[in-house]
Amino acid sequence: MKNITIKTEADGFIVAVLDMPGRPFNVFSEDMMADLETLIEQVLTDCNAGNAPKGLVLTSGKSSFVAGADLGMIQDFGAMRFTANWQQMRDRYSNLGKLFRRLETLPVPVVAAVNGLALGGGFELAMACHGRVCVDAPHAQLGLPEVVLGLLPGAGGTQRLPRYIGLAPGLEMLLGGASLSPSAALERGVVDKLASQEDLISSAISLAGEISAGARWDKEGFELDSDDLAKIGDGFNDWALALCGIDKNTADLYPAIPAILKCVGDGFAKDIDAGSDVEWDVFVDLMSDPVASNMVTTCFLAKTAATKLSLAQLPKVEPVASYAALDGVELNPKVFRKVTQLASGEAELNVGPVGDEAADVFLAAQSASTPASGATPEFRFVGDFTKSEVLELYVGTDLEKAAKAMSLAQTSGKSVVLSRSAESVNKVLLATCGAIAANSDAQALTRAVAAVGLSKQMAEALSVDYAPTLEVQAADKQFGLDILAELSLAVATFAAAALTGDEDKDATLLAGIDLLSVYGTGFPKWSGGPLSCLTMFQRGELSSSKMNIADLEWTFKSPWGYKASKAS
């Protein structure tokens, strides 16, 4: 096995170390799953031969435990709806969950020694073990963030978490995506012990020697909380949404929310195997919806890859050690971490307002009337610069200066998208919002904004109040789709003008346009951004009288990712 190393301790315990070569984090790829299956088979073979180990400890050779699923595999999952049938999708999607169930039913005690981040599939792996010891350190977090990516934890997470910590707290984690610190995980009962980094493995071996094999729900006498069971049935969804502070409009727009509710509502009262079957069925239905693929692509894949792809387009420079915020610019010194903020004239890089000749890079807030950019690099943003998750770096004409600006931008922890267009896609969106507002009824616009989940910034650009929980009707949803169609068409024109003819560069460009739109002006995350939204119209997944498909010159996405092609 290339991803898992087995160490047999002198006292008869096995320690399996997950350590993917050439990767900073362990993730669940199909190779890792194959190695996990080999490990399970080896333990079973030893047990059947009368050489059963006293216990199995799973840990990581990285600074984190397991960070989730492999990016390439997730992207491939999203494309399967175009090529595979329902059963083929279920067989593949349920593979990891079935492995975890096999691990959970091993006839020897299995303990997870969680040494760092355990997110998504990593936390699901830990929960499939019979016991858990977690390092007592702030860098360790345990959680299921899938919902914020339009997904659900499909390897048993919707079934095991509520059984461990209770229905209400389980739902709050599943629908909110928040993680637990080691101490909170211990308090909630999903972790059995805390240990120092030095004592982690010995503590896990000790726990494996203290407990019996098997999950608590597989043992005689296990019962679910009667108060929790009473909440399952009529009114469950309404209760759960109110508990988690989720309004009806949001639940209607993001299919992962009702999917998680269905997994828990239909599976919680069943035994773990029947509950897992519910989860896997629902997961297939969720992945058949374009929203899941849109959100994974933009909010995870594109966001994760943006900075690396931007760096590849610039010359290498020494890291910037200091910067100055010139008059007219207010920057929180904590924004650029480990870079010293000095006075003007003393710093390596000057950040100034647009037009300041002393600035090496402009801080350019975007609006409908932002002037076109010139020779100087710019940090483009919408709203609050400090809170923004994604930053647009306009290159200008001096690549060396842009590379230094990139060096500074990297220290912010934001995803950085490189741009060569004289105008930002966010300016295009804000200007189009203004044009729509000039020809629309304000009350109808307000309801439409709520119906399709436009952001507060876009509501302001449309000159209406932001009222996301407003009760809406089908006509409001259609008007909202008409607005999205107009915005997507405007961005399509912008994107077509920026194409280079180089397939890889254009794929990066198109992904960046969607990413900037979602995390800039706040184009709805469920849509994946204006180009992904346009693709939904082109595929017939959305409809609008504003969208004449026959007139569109370009398509910008294929089932496997961003790709500019002439429309047929």
Start-end of H helices in 288-395: 290-296, 303-311
- Helix count (H) and strand count (E) of the chain? 23, 18
Among all chains, which residue has been given the structure tokens 């639940």? 251
Start-end of H helices in 375-464: 399-410, 425-438, 442-452, 456-461
Per the annotation, the verdict on 124 as an active-site residue is: yes
So what's the pLDDT on residue 330? 87
So what's the pLDDT on residue 413? 95
What's the sign of the alpha-carbon dihedral 546, 552, 556, 560? positive
Instruction: Report pLDDT digits (tens) over 206-231.
Output: 999 999 999 999 999 999 999 999 99
Which residues have CB under 8 Å from 330's CB, separation 6+?
none
Instruction: Report pLDDT digits (tens) over 494-535.
Output: 999 999 999 999 999 999 999 999 999 999 999 999 999 999
pLDDT of 568 > 80? The answer is no
Query: Is 464 exposed, middle or buried, given 0-12, 13-18 or 19+ CB atoms closer than 10 A?
Result: buried
Using pLDDT thresholds of 50, 70 and 90, give the confidence band for residue 10: confident
Two tokens, residue 326? 């010139």
Residue 248's H or E segment, with its range, is helix 248-253
Distance, CA of 127 to CA of 112 (rounded, Å): 8
Mean pLDDT taken over the chain: 96
- The percent of residues above 90 in pLDDT, for the chain, comes to 94
b/e map of 213-243 (b: 16 or more CB within 10 Å)? bbbebeeeeeeeeeebeebbeeebeebbbee
Using pLDDT thresholds of 50, 70 and 90, give the confidence band for residue 256: very high
Query: Is 439 exposed, middle or buried, given 0-12, 13-18 or 19+ CB atoms closer than 10 A?
Result: exposed
Ramachandran class of 365: left when φ > 0, alpha when ψ lies in -120 to 50, beta otherwise: beta
Distance, CA of 512 to CA of 519 (rounded, Å): 10
- Nearest-CA neighbor of 127 among 158, 151, 149, 83? 158
Longest CA–CA span in the chain (Å) reads: 79
Which of 104, 146, 378, 392 is an active site residue? Answer: 146
Using pLDDT thresholds of 50, 70 and 90, give the confidence band for residue 488: very high
**139, 116 Cβ separation under 8 angstroms:** yes
3-state secondary structure of 300: helix
Instruction: Report pLDDT digits (tens) over 140-160.
Output: 999 999 999 999 999 999 999
Instruction: Report pLDDT digits (tens) over 121-144.
Output: 999 999 999 999 999 999 999 999
> In the beta sheet, which residues pair with residue 206?
none
So what's the pLDDT on residue 78? 87
Instruction: Report pLDDT digits (tens) over 65-122.
Output: 999 888 778 888 889 999 999 999 999 999 999 999 999 999 999 999 999 999 999 9
- What domains can you pick out in the chain, each with its CATH number? 4-288 (3.90.226.10), 295-301+425-566 (no CATH), 319-419 (no CATH)
- The percent of residues above 70 in pLDDT, for the chain, comes to 100
3-state secondary structure of 362: strand
Which of 30, 37, 41, 124 is an active site residue? Answer: 124
Using pLDDT thresholds of 50, 70 and 90, give the confidence band for residue 558: very high
- Nearest-CA neighbor of 367 among 435, 428, 449? 428
This prediction's pTM: 0.95
So what's the pLDDT on residue 168? 98
So what's the pLDDT on residue 105? 98
- Nearest-CA neighbor of 111 among 34, 33, 195? 195
How distant, in Å, are the alpha carbons of 342, 392, 418 from that of 350?
A: 9, 17, 19
pLDDT of 550 > 90? The answer is no
